[in-house]
């Protein structure tokens, strides 16, 4: 039986790993899970393992709340020790976090092959830590599982066909997760009732990217825009603990409703019932599409360019005026969401079958 070490540390990675872990088990692959601890809040971490029935991590490194260099360095050291102990045939990493890069680096130093799920994404903004993480991880990886044809094209333009690696258009595992967990969410989540919401009566907002949260003016502009929108539609924001700490320190006031972070099943219900999504999250942009909601992206660029090209998403950045104009545009827009942008919902099976043949 093949042994693979999976490295996760943040909410989007838990969602992706949940569905891929099922496929790995079905393919007869032994999986050892390392949780770096990058997201340490219970609602940002433990709840995902519980409600999504992900196998409990074999290792929890509890490395969090540090600057980028310190966090990545400590993860690299700790992951290396685990890999020496476990001696896997391959390390599987997801996305673009510090956990992703640390895992890929640790494996490569030990001559262990790396597979990168969600490879080839580019925002073309190298001031974003996530952009650096994904570029370096792609270069280290032996197998690049791309979620879209655009991601494949990005790698080809960068010359990856000349490197010793395998590029696979697997489709998006987030699509698999959305399909799998949607019905479970209907049965288990009561978030709509708890918040006393009704269908299409509110807009869902999230905010966590450092390009926004580390810039007081941008943060204030976004909160001002959301306050104005709250006069037209109720705004609900599950708030990342780090962002909550920053707005408290800056004394930013708001009239819209801020709630604690929610689990994936609750987030699906919020997505299903909202009238619009406003976010700086890459994953939530796609999830909005999966549940047929238009999205306003609170960034100047996106990795998911096909959503913008096809009119499901609009880039508003942090500019209050642009956010409000985008709301007027998107809230009344009608779109056909029946387009196959992210595969056929079997990306995880494609990944597991390929890994089983190595």
Q: From CA 241, how far away is CA 42, in angstroms rounded?
A: 11
Q: Which two tokens stand for residue 110?
A: 């030990």
- Give yes or no: 208 in active site: yes
Count of Cβ atoms closer than 10 Å to residue 86 Cβ: 17
Question: Angle at CA 349, nearest 5°, toward 348 and 355?
Answer: 90
Sequence-ordered alpha helix ranges (H) in 231-316: 241-250, 264-273, 282-290, 305-309
Cα distances (angstroms) measured from residue 317 to each of 13, 222, 321: 25, 9, 10
Kindly write down the DSSP assignment for every residue of 237-253, as one continuous string: EE--HHHHHHHHHHT--
How many CA atoms, within 13 angstroms, populate the side-chain half-sphere of residue 350?
19
Q: From CA 167, how far away is CA 161, in angstroms rounded?
A: 8
Catalytic residue, chosen from 208, 232, 254, 294, is 208
- The residues that are catalytic are 208
């Amino acid at each position: 039986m093949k042994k693979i070490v999976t490295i996760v540390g943040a909410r989007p990675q838990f969602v992706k790993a949940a569905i891929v872990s099922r496929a790995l088990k079905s393919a007869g692959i032994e999986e050892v899970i390392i949780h770096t601890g990058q997201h340490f809040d219970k609602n940002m971490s433990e709840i995902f393992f519980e409600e999504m029935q992900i196998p409990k991590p074999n290792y929890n490194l509890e490395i969090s709340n540090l600057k980028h260099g310190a966090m990545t360095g400590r993860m690299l050291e700790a992951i290396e020790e685990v890999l020496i102990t476990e001696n896997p045939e391959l390390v599987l990493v997801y996305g673009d976090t510090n956990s992703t890069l640390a895992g890929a680096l640790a494996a490569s130093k030990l001559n262990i092959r790396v597979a990168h799920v969600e490879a080839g994404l580019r925002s073309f903004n190298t001031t974003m830590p996530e952009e650096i993480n994904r570029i370096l991880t792609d270069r280290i990886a032996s197998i690049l599982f791309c979620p879209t044809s655009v991601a494949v094209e990005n790698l080809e333009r960068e010359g990856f066909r000349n490197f010793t690696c395998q590029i696979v258009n697997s489709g998006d595992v987030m699509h698999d997760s959305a399909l799998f967990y949607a019905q479970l969410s209907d049965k288990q989540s009561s978030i709509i009732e708890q918040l006393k919401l009704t269908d299409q009566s509110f807009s869902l907002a999230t905010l966590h990217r450092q390009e926004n949260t580390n810039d007081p003016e941008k943060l204030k502009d976004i909160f001002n825009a959301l306050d104005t929108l709250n006069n037209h539609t109720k705004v609900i924001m599950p708030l990342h603990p780090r962002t909550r700490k920053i707005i408290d320190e800056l004394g930013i006031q708001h009239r819209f409703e801020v709630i604690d972070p929610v689990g994936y099943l609750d987030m699906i219900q919020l997505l299903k019932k909202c009238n619009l999504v406003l976010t700086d999250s890459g994953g939530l942009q796609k999830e909005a599409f999966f549940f047929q909601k238009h999205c306003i992206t609170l960034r100047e660029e996106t990795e998911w360019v096909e959503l913008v090209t096809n009119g499901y998403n609009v880039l508003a950045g942090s500019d209050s005026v642009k956010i409000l104009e985008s709301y007027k545009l998107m809230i009344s827009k009608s779109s056909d969401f029946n387009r196959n942008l992210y595969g056929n919902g079997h990306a995880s099976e494609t990944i597991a079958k390929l890994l089983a043949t190595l």
